[in-house]
């Protein structure tokens, strides 16, 4: 646990940066609900479901594909760099890491 104020500030800044986009918040919430690894395609379905507040079957496939691409190119790598998820590109699976718990607690506190 960090006690140096500058280190704590850096951790807080990093956490807010990770939660700065709604797709990343949806990913964090998905792993808070499921707590196990998911194929990226399933994670994209879940993010799209949350984004559109509708069943995936009611969301145009092009929109789900856009979510998948945004997760693949931007949001999962940022969450990975921040220590929140681990992405195995070969198996196309995203797994939560311990840092997810901290982000869930932060989301709970601010929502």
Roughly what angle, to the nearest 10 degrees, separates helices 40-52 and 22-34?
Answer: 110
In sequence order, what are the beta bridge partners of 108? none
Domains by residue range for the chain, with CATH: 5-110 (1.10.10.10)
Angle between the N-to-C axes of helices 99-110 and 22-34, in degrees from 0 to 180, rounded to the nearest 10: 110
In order along its 111 residues, the chain shows pLDDT tens digits of: 556 665 655 677 888 899 999 999 999 999 999 889 999 999 999 999 999 999 999 999 999 999 999 999 999 999 999 999 999 999 999 999 988 999 999 998 887
Phi, psi torsion values for 90, nearest 5 degrees: -65, -40
Alpha-carbon gap, residue 47 to 50, rounded angstroms: 5
Closest-CA residue to 87 (of 71, 99, 102): 71
The helix-helix angle for 5-18 and 99-110 (nearest 10°) equals: 80
């Amino acid at each position: 646990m960090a006690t140096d104020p500058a280190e704590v500030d850096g951790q807080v800044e990093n956490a807010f940066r990770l939660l700065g986009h709604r797709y990343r918040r949806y990913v964090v919430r998905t792993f808070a609900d499921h707590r196990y690894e998911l194929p990226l395609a399933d994670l994209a379905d879940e993010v799209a479901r949350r984004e559109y507040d509708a069943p995936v079957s009611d969301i145009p496939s092009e929109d789900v594909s856009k979510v998948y691409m945004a997760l693949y190119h931007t949001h999962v790598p940022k969450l990975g760099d921040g220590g929140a998820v681990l992405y195995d590109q070969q198996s196309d699976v995203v797994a939560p890491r311990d840092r997810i718990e901290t982000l869930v607690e932060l989301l709970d506190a601010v929502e």
